[in-house]
Chain A
Amino acid sequence: MNNALRTYFWRGSFAIIMLVALYATFVRFYYGLGASTNLSDQFPWGIWVGFDVLCGVGLAAGGFTLAAIVHIFNLKAYKAVVRPAILTAFLGYLLVTVALMFDLGRPYRVWHPLIMWNPRSVMFEVGWCVTLYTSVLFLEFLPMVLEKLGLVKAHRVLKNVMLPIIILGVILSTLHQSSLGSVFLILPTKLHPLWYSPLLPVLFYVSAIATGLAMTIFESWHSAKAFGRQLEFPLVQKMTRVLAVVIAVYLTMRFLDLYHRGALSTLNNPGWERWLFGLEIVLMAVPMLMFFRERTRENPQAIYVGTVLFLLGFVTHRLNVSVTGLEASSGVHYVPKWTEISVTLAMVAFGFFVFRMAAHYLPVFEAEEHQPVPEVPVLEDRAYAHSLARGD
């Protein structure tokens, strides 16, 4: 396919997805949830919660992961990818909020948890954290805009207060990324034993960190394709190593937990749960093994494939916890309606679109050129270089 054709193809698909979603939106808000979803009293949450919200928040975890790596751990090598990660996170959270509007029965009351408190509710805590963290992300994203507009002074002011903001962001993320797992702790008998675990918050947290890294690799690859830029390849290679280790930690925890709870014996039971479980594990274990091999890490294509496999594994896990793992106890079979799929698809497509736009118009990828060393003034950096040159 030549380039022009490809562009037409993507633009056409995008337009179709958006048009269908527009109609789906009408159905949702005019006729209500009953007409626009296959949800029922037995099955009140579907893919709008399972994918749009639960996976959406996880897929946006790169923002806090990389902010921590770069600004807290001071691993300078990762600086080149911190901005795209923050941008994705910011967009991700905005999209999650939009998706939530579709799912809530009374979306105009989305702010209620801010004034009507129930501190015993995980959802209450998640609501607060997500609201605050989205504001934090806005502040973390703001420098890109200020730079673009050449507002040097505001930029400097913001930079001076960035550290506490970043720490706050990491804490808020730790809280709600794990709490999304805690949401399901109340379902000891409803959620299938392959997925119910007291460790759910920890598993969700660790898998979110892995996904943050994976999404960053995924984006680097895409932006490299889109803007003809050289992939920061040594950096990507480094990230794949880290990713492999995080997945290994995650899978070890996952299996220890299953083993100690005696849940592995349920794999003998008939039913499709075990196949979905197998799929989820394979989609995570294969990329992990791939990334541990030097051969894979030398091949951008292989890295990309591995990353996509892992992301699919992550999505499978979250859908298993929030949708498929609840089917058996609910007594009904849930298949999303076209409207649900259409809205979800539109969220993903829209995310891609806005990211590309932002990456095109804002100094997302060229942070180094605009801002030689974001958090250390140039002078100090020179001093550091001197000290390095002197050999200490």
Chain B
Amino acid sequence: MSKAILYDSTLCVGCRQCEEACSTRWKLPYNEKIAAEEKISSHKLTTIRTFGEKFSRKLCMHCQDPACASVCPVAALQKTAAGPVVYDEDRCMGCRYCMVACPFQVPTYEWEARLPKVRKCDMCSDRVPGGGVTRCSEACAYGATITGNRDELIAEARKRIADKPKDYYPKIYGVEEVGGTSVLILASVPFDQIGYNTKVIKTALPALTWNALQHVPDVVVMGSVLMGGIHWISHRKEEVARKEGRS
């Protein structure tokens, strides 16, 4: 059963308890200055963003088929069956392809470190797979961020929209985006108005690379035959000459 997070921005009051809880979990410093930054970075893995009266939250979307994990040459990023996309810093060589590839601009880098790591939300992978909830869900006193089974959360989100159609924009962000994500978002306005990227494609990204990569064996086989053949043809004159020279 795959887990997910549901963030309902209509319930969010911008108290930033989730930010603080997350920083505590990662043993990162947290103070007013960091709270005001409003962007994720290697020292702040989730953030609340203010749009007038409205708030939105940014964290790793934990894509169902994540671009970051598919591009990583050393498989340092992995989508786990339980939902979280996790990072193994011992494998990472720091090519930053994951950062380039992520459609939501999520992975961040410790730019100032001599031997830097990639940093991103891991959906509290020490708690969630065992049935626990994330630190940020736990910290949220308004129920704006909750953890649960993905299909149940989708059903819950649909119900909220159906119950109060006036309060909600009638879509769940994360059901279709890049083929689905394990973070689901509800809003009262179209998602791009509160900072979500609505231009992402609706299918999983790794398929795009696979279209090209799957031809690798064919290129090897065809290439060998073709070049062997061309070599044979193009050197035939000499072969004939050699035979005639001998006779």
Contact = CB atoms under 8 A, between A and B. Distances in A.
A283 B137 CA distance: 55
Interface string A79-106: 0000000000000000000000001111
Contact of A123 (B73, B200, B240, B246): B73
Given A32-B114, A42-B105, A182 B96 contact: no
A118 interface: yes
Given A113-B73, A186-B101, A387-B241, A171 B224 contact: yes
Contacts of B117: 105
Given A41-B99, A185-B208, A109 B230 contact: no
Contacts of B105: 41-42, 330
B41 interface: yes
Given A106-B93, A167-B228, 4 more contacts: A120-B209, A126-B73, A174-B223, A188-B201
Interface string A174-202: 11001100110111111000000010010
Interface stretch (B6-14, B163-171, B212-220): B212-220
Interface in A27-57: 29-35, 39-42, 44-45
B242 A380 contact: yes
Nearest to A183: B97
A41 B234 CA distance: 52
Nearest to B42: A41
Interface stretch (B46-54, B64-72, B123-131, B179-187): B64-72
A174 B199 CA distance: 33
Interface of A: 29-35, 39-42, 44-45, 68, 71-75, 103-107, 109-110, 112-113, 116-127, 163, 167, 170-171, 174-175, 178-179, 182-183, 185-190, 198, 201, 326, 330, 376, 379-380, 382-384, 386-387
Given A44-B109, A170-B227, A106 B94 contact: yes
Given A72-B231, A188-B205, A198 B101 contact: no
Contacts, number: 194
B240 A109 contact: no
A53 B245 CA distance: 49
A34 B112 contact: yes
B238 interface: yes
Contact of B212 (A29, A163, A182, A383): A182
A279 to B, nearest CB: 24
B39 to A, nearest CB: 8
B237 interface: yes
B244 A72 contact: no
B15 interface: no
A168 B55 CA distance: 57
Contacts of B40: 41
B216 A125 contact: yes
Contacts of A170: 223, 227
Nearest to A105: B94
A245 B134 CA distance: 60
A119 B75 CA distance: 9
B235 interface: yes
Contacts of B242: 380, 383-384
Contacts of A174: 219, 223
A331 B235 CA distance: 56
A119 B246 CA distance: 51
14 contacts: A41-B107, A41-B111, A68-B227, A74-B234, A105-B115, A116-B75, A118-B73, A122-B71, A123-B73, A167-B228, A189-B103, A198-B211, A380-B242, A383-B241
